Chains A and B, each alone.
Chain A
Amino acid sequence: MFRLALNMLFGDRAKLAMLLCGLAFSALLMAQQTSVFFGIMSWTYTPVVNIRAHVWVSDPMVEQANDAKPMRDTELGRVRSVDGVAWAAPLHTSFLQARMVDGNFKLITLVGIDADTFAGAPAQLTQGRIEDLRLPNTVIVDEWGAQLMGKSVKGPDGKMQTVALKPGDVFEINDIEARIVGICKVRRAFTGGPFVYTTYDRAKTYTLGARRTLSFMLAEPAPGITPSELCERIERETGLKAWTSDTVIWDWSDRSLARNTFWWFWKNTGIPFSFGTAVALGLFVGIAISGQTFYSFVLENLKYFAAIKAMGASMRVLAGMLIIQAVTAGLIGFGLGAGMAQAIGRVMIEKGMPPFVMFPQILIATLVLTMGISIVSAIIGIVKVSRVDAATVFRG
């Protein structure tokens, strides 16, 4: 009977198309919006991803990666003295205004890294060499920043166009020259400004000699010691806060800086609510369209279900038929919706905007919700069919 149930479903192509549209749209909205949401949320812990240290050390009051509470430089010595620390390097991060050659100001994220070890340096330079940061007044800018801070020039067609910054170009931070010696490729941050890398000491100059400039310390565990163990030791011996760099937000370790950053934004911003609203909207639209369409499919077939009932089909068989129909439509709708979300995601990833991260968990949740919509639709149909009197088949 279940094969016939599927044939009944596929035989009514107009209804099926409508049903699939509702389910696919719903799955698309849920998967796409959730992926963009997690993409944006993944930007919140971008520093952890870009800087790639095993252990981060911060002021004990720090709650997340973008929340630097500067420490005294002497803290670095205390951390280095902890048993199990192979090495430790300073890291400065701050938000500053950069003044372009044309007089425009742009917000930047200044990252000061240790000039000896280059710990925290970007992993991929597309132009220039990291060693050139040792030259006076030099910086490395990320690709997106190079484009954002680029010069506006008149093109051959007379229209204005932006020419990306390149090694050799100059701008100013707090009236101090910053000469570009390299372009790097890093992940963009939630906080918006492009990353400008320089040495830790020069960062102090750019921040005009602020008294405390040590935002974080990056530490490496000695062989045989895990990052978690090292974090415990550092916290015990220095009273500072130490974090691991795990970026799996589903890992419920309290020591993960990425995870704590993610959930800090989750709790303290309206982002989950606004995206949650869109996801809920997708769910409700899905239930409304699919439920209504499936219900009308059931209504149109009601006299046939009544006939099948009269012929001796039990309610279990009829319910099974409706569930098979709804679940099949749900699976196809999910496939179409998730496929479209993937396709849109690919375009987004290529453009870099908006961020898009489709975890397997998102697909599983979308599948579960789409199946939920289908089951709700099936239940509505089952209720209707259960109430139909088999004797109606004799009433013309």
Chain B
Amino acid sequence: MSKAHDIAVTTHGVDISFGTGETKVTALQQTEFTARRGELIMLVGPSGCGKTTLLSVIAGTLKPDSGTVEVFGQRLDKMNQAELTAFRRKHLGFVFQSFNLIPTLSVVENVMVPLLIQGISNDEARRRSIAILEKVGLKGREDGKPNALSGGQQQRVAIARALVHEPPLLICDEPTSALDKDTGAQIMEMVRELSRSPDRCVVVVTHDFRIFRFADRIAEMEDGRISRVVDDPLSITQQNF
């Protein structure tokens, strides 16, 4: 049983549906989910089971129809849009499936975005961005354009961007789906290594069973609910997933 102060994310009785009448689709129903500080938890399950919807709720980009969402002690379900925006700015880092690096900006400028959004000066943002790019092994590539990098390198830039402002919650949406096996493993290694902190929680949505081994726990979803939570990721294989 987790102690209250260990809890990073918790959802209770979350319902979300889209559309009305015959087109109504229930994405989450009475979803209960908990992620602890200092852990890397993966959300897995078949397509359409509600993983991305739950991720959006945790990230504060989607408000539940009912239920409570608490992230680092703050009730997201009670916040208005402006408060949610401010919350994401300070507390969240994102790694997207398709990287979402702005192609017309340089690598370092892409990484600077979360810092500049927070109002940090250009010089300071650049300094911190260059430092983290060095950590992800992209020293010397700062001023190039993202399109000149390989998929793995682009995802490293995305990781640098997600962590540059040191958010307590890192949200990763299918971070390895666009990468080959080895590169995917390297990326997950990097996510684990860089995000490892007693106060940081990493939530990863993935279909990629090859990276399950990087998780501390795995929450399986089915039909909009968490069907089971596994403490030993290695016990889940491709066959039983």
Q: How far is the CB of B107 from chain A (nearest CB, A)?
A: 12
Task: State whether the Cβ of A313 lies closer than 8 Å to any Cβ in chain B.
Answer: yes
Closest A residue to B52 using CB positions? A394
User: Which of A302-318 touch B at CB < 8 Å?
Assistant: 303-304, 307-314, 317
Whether A391 touches B90, Cβ cut-off 8 Å, given contacts A314-B85, A396-B97, is no
- Chain B residues contacting A10 (CB-CB under 8 Å) are 104
Binds B, one of A1-9, A269-277, A284-292: A1-9
In-complex Cβ contact of B90 among A3, A307, A312, A389 (8 A)? A312
CB pair B90 A394 closer than 8 Å? no
B102-121 vs A: 1/0 string, CB under 8 Å?
11111001001110111000
> Would you call B102 and A8 a contact (CB within 8 A)?
yes
Is A162 engaged at the interface, CB distance under 8 Å to the other chain? no
Taking the complex as formed, is B173 at the interface, i.e. its CB lies under 8 A from any CB of chain A?
yes
A11 at interface by CB-CB < 8 Å: yes
Q: Is B89 an interface residue (CB 8 A)?
A: yes
**Interface presence of A226 (CB below 8 A):** no
Are A313 and B104 in contact, CB atoms less than 8 angstroms apart? Answer: no
Q: Does A348 contact B (CB under 8 A)?
A: no
Q: Is the interface of A mostly helix, strand, loop or mixed?
A: helix
Query: Given contacts A391-B56, A391-B62, is CB(A11)–CB(B104) below 8 Å?
Result: yes
Query: Do A311 and B61 touch (CB < 8 A)?
Result: no
Judging by beta carbons under 8 Å apart, are A312 and B61 in contact? no
Mask of A295-329 contacts with B, CB within 8 angstroms, 1/0: 00000010110011111111001000000000000
- Which of chain A's residues have a CB closer than 8 A to the CB of B122? 3
Which residues of chain B from 55 to 103 have a CB within 8 Å of any chain A CB? 55-56, 59, 61-62, 82, 85-90, 92, 94, 96-98, 100, 102-103
Of A8, A303, A396, which is in contact with the most chain B CB atoms at under 10 Å from its CB? A396
Compute how far the CA of A303 lies from the CA of B103 in the bound complex, rounded to whole angstroms.
Answer: 12
Residues in B with CB closer than 8 Å to A12 are 104
Contact with B along A69-106 (1 / 0, CB 8 A): 00000000000000000000000000000000000000
- Most interface-central of A4, A303, A317, A394 (chain B CB within 10 A): A394
A301 adjacent to B102 (CB under 8 Å):
yes
Q: Which residue of A lies closest to B104 (CB)?
A: A11
* With A1-B117, A4-B109, A312-B85: A304-B97 Cβ-Cβ less than 8 Å: no
CB-CB < 8 A to A11: which residues of B? 103-105
By the criterion CB–CB under 8 Å, are B62 and A304 in contact?
no
CB of A307 within 8 A of CB of B117, answer: no
Find B82's partner among A7, A308, A314, A396 (CB 8 Å cutoff): A314
Q: Shortest CB–CB separation between residue B232 and chain A, in angstroms? A: 28
Are A312 and B112 in contact (CB-based, < 8 A)?
A: no
Question: Once bound together, how far apart are the Cα atoms of A303 and B239, in whole Å?
Answer: 35
Q: Interface size on A (CB < 8 Å)?
A: 28
Question: Complex formed: what's the CA distance from A322 to B88 in Å?
Answer: 21
Nearest residue (CB) in A for B122 is A3
C-alpha spacing A389/B174, complex, angstroms: 19
Instruction: Bits for A370-396, please: 1 = Cβ < 8 Å to B, else 0.
Output: 000000000000000000011101111
Chain A residues with CB below 8 A from B61, complex form = 310, 389-391, 393-394
- Evaluate contact between A8 and B105: CB separation under 8 angstroms: yes
- Cβ of A394 and Cβ of B88 under 8 Å apart? no
The residues of A that contact B56 with a CB separation of less than 8 Å are 391, 394
- Give A310 to B88 CA distance when docked, in angstroms: 7
Assembly CA distance A303 to B98 (angstroms): 10
Q: How far is the CA of A1 from the CA of B115 in the complex (A)?
A: 9
The answer to whether A8 and B104 have CB atoms under 8 Å apart is: yes
Asked if residues B96 and A394 are in contact (CB atoms below 8 Å), the reply is yes
B82 CB contacts on chain A under 8 angstroms: 314
A311 touches B96 (CB 8 A): no
**Chain B neighbourhood of A3, CB < 8 A:** 122
A261 to B105, CA, bound (A): 57
- Complex contact A312–B109 (CB within 8 A): no
Nearest B residue to A10 via CB reads B104
Residues from chain A with Cβ under 8 Å of B103 in the complex: 11
Instruction: List the B side residues contacting A301 at CB < 8 Å.
Output: 102
CB closest residue in chain B, given A309: B85
Q: Quick check: A4 and B113 within 8 Å, CB to CB?
A: yes
> Contact between A311 and B117 (Cβ–Cβ < 8 Å)?
yes
Report chain B residues within 8 Å CB of A307: 94, 96, 100, 102
B52–A313 contact, CB under 8 A?
Answer: no
- The answer on a CB contact under 8 Å between B94 and A1 is no
* Cα of A301 to Cα of B102 in the assembled complex, Å: 8
CB contact under 8 A between A396 and B105, given known A311-B114, A312-B89, A312-B114:
no
State the CA gap A98–B174 with chains docked (Å): 90
Segment 5-52 of A: residues with Cβ below 8 Å from B: 7-12
- Given the complex of chains A and B, what is the CA–CA distance between A303 and B90 in angstroms? 21
A95 to B50, CA, bound (A): 88
- Between A and B, 19 residue pairs with Cβ closer than 8 Å are A1-B116, A1-B117, A4-B105, A7-B106, A10-B104, A11-B105, A303-B100, A311-B92, A312-B86, A313-B117, A314-B85, A317-B117, A389-B61, A391-B59, A391-B62, A394-B56, A394-B59, A394-B96, A396-B174
Q: Which residues of A are in contact with B by a Cβ distance under 8 Å?
A: 1, 3-4, 7-12, 301, 303-304, 307-314, 317, 389-391, 393-396
**5 smallest A-B Cβ distances: which pairs?**
A11-B104, A312-B89, A391-B61, A312-B88, A307-B100
- What would 6 more interface pairs be, CB under 8 Å, given A4-B109, A7-B104? A11-B104, A307-B102, A308-B113, A312-B86, A391-B62, A395-B52
Give B residues with C-beta under 8 Å from A. 52, 55-56, 59, 61-62, 82, 85-90, 92, 94, 96-98, 100, 102-106, 109, 112-114, 116-118, 122, 173-174, 205
